[in-house]
Amino acid sequence: MTLALDPAAQDLLFREARTSNTFSDEPVTDEQIQAVYDLVKYAPTAFNGSPLRVVLVRSEEARERLVAHMAEGNQPKTRTAPLVAILAADNEFHEELPTLFPHFPQAKDVFFSERSAREGAASVNGALQAAYFILGIRAAGLAAGPMTGFDFAGVQKEFLDDDHTPLMVVNIGKPGENPWFPRSPRLSYDEVVTTV
């Protein structure tokens, strides 16, 4: 076997995993989300910066505030998912570097004294962590419905602050009735990989 990961786990995380468009009524617990985070927090980011921040939208009032900012086609999914998470990048992540990168605590000032440098690093590494988060949701036996079809400025104003940039909204739960669109094609190895 070329991959160390068990084939069933490969299927769970990749081959059989799909973006769910409908969800069952089965709740998603705080314990499940904590287990997801406690798994994916070990995945790498530059300088171990870990800029991802997660806002769990549980209350009906907050859910309706979020739905108002979603693209029309994403509103029903967001309204009915058992749990919705707003994934954001913390542009002030560098404040944690003395703790997270203790062998070079000066990185905070050497590399990230400028806001533009922090925003760029937070965006890239936050998106990387968002992908880990989606895989963690799948590892928990749940389905993720990640979306970028929403009013970013509206979501930031409603749920975050100027130091946090929204990356995506993720619906989370067990798949519901007719949850999948047909699987879209993927590029082949030879279309993606070159050797120099």
pLDDT digits (tens, 9 = 90+) for 22-78: 999 999 999 999 999 999 999 999 999 999 999 999 999 999 999 999 999 999 999
CA distances from 109 to 91, 121, 130, 131, 163 (A): 14, 14, 26, 28, 17
Domains defined for the chain, CATH in brackets: 18-176 (3.40.109.10)
pLDDT digits (tens, 9 = 90+) for 99-140: 999 999 899 999 999 999 999 999 999 999 999 999 999 999
- Distance between CA atoms of 20 and 38, rounded to whole angstroms? 23
With a threshold of 0.85, does the pTM exceed it? yes
Q: What is the dihedral of CA 78, 80, 81, 82, to 10 degrees?
A: 140
Q: Check residue 163 and report its DSSP letter.
A: T
Sheet strands side by side (includes 164-173)? 52-57, 83-90, 164-173, 143-147
- Distance between CA atoms of 85 and 63, rounded to whole angstroms? 10
